[in-house]
A = this chain, B = another copy of it.
Amino acid sequence: MRTAFYISDGTAITAEVFGQALLTLFPTKFEHVTIPFVETAEMAEQVKQRINDRYKTTGERPLIFQTFVDDNLRQIINHSNGVCYDFLHSFIEPVQRELGVAPVPKTHRTHSIHEQTYDFRIDAVNYALANDDGSNLKDYDQADIILIGVSRSGKTPTSLYLALQYGIKAANYPFVEEDMEQLRLPEVLKRNQDKLFGLTITPERLHHIREQRRANSRYASLRQCQLELNEVERLYQQEHIPFLNSTHLSIEEISAKIIAKTGLKRRKY
């Protein structure tokens, strides 16, 4: 199998995202190897050796995705037997020309504690945890957004993702079986109605998810799922609450759509 290496003097997250975006376009299977924090010439030489060894064993040149800022380290890897795709360096020159400004290379620019917005993100994670699943109703005035929906419609992972990636303070509030008879917005949500965003999902998918949690329960039954979803969707429409159906969406996609729909301000770019 062909090997793809993701190498950097930082986390190598950028190298991974770039390499992944490219490789998933091809029907080829790869073995993936990430080597982060390659910060000295000695370490780079060891990585070069690993690449060369892999070439020797497999007879195929490994694909190398790298994001070194240090030019010396970059050159060491470029002299390996791998095929290097150096996307940063391919684009620095054109961007420099357009901006008319020279780059100021420094390591750990991205994905580091030194980004200005880092504390926002940690605060937002703590907020999301403290305000998960209706566990705390007092601090909704601090929320950037309040996700609402039935149990297992994707509220919690989405709240955490919004917090971790974007520093957005997301609370979430569940509608449960007991709420269903005459479903209304509780006072605490009514007061923050401009922050509400609803999630829904198909009854079949919800049934499937709930079955894994509590098999053969009333909670998981298709009938109950249908009933709850009918009710919340009626409520969303009645109260003009924006909402989306999470059935075929990942948390990344749900989050991106919520931000696009609401114009929510991200604290991290």
Contact = CB atoms under 8 A, between A and B. Distances in A.
A36 B257 contact: yes
Interface string A90-130: 11101110110101110011111101001001100110010
Contacts of A252: 11, 13, 111-112
A110 to B, nearest CB: 6
A91 B105 CA distance: 23
A88 B22 CA distance: 6
Interface stretch (A24-32, A136-144, A167-175): A24-32
A80 to B, nearest CB: 14
Contacts of A156: 125-126, 129
Contacts of A260: 34-37
A26 B249 contact: no
Interface residues of A, number: 74
Interface stretch (A70-78, A157-165, A217-225): A157-165
A92 B87 CA distance: 12
Nearest to A123: B212
Nearest to A113: B250
Most B Cβ at <10 Å: residue of A12, A35, A36, A121? A36
B22 A92 contact: yes
Contacts of A91: 22, 85, 87
23 contacts: A12-B256, A13-B252, A14-B18, A14-B20, A17-B110, A18-B21, A20-B269, A21-B67, A22-B92, A22-B95, A25-B92, A25-B103, A26-B104, A32-B269, A34-B259, A83-B94, A111-B252, A113-B253, A125-B157, A129-B129, A129-B156, A157-B164, A161-B164
Given A14-B20, A25-B88, A113-B250, 10 more contacts: A12-B256, A13-B17, A22-B95, A23-B95, A25-B109, A26-B95, A26-B99, A34-B260, A121-B251, A160-B160
8 smallest CB-CB distances across A and B, nearest first, come from: A111-B252, A25-B103, A11-B256, A24-B109, A113-B250, A17-B17, A32-B269, A14-B21
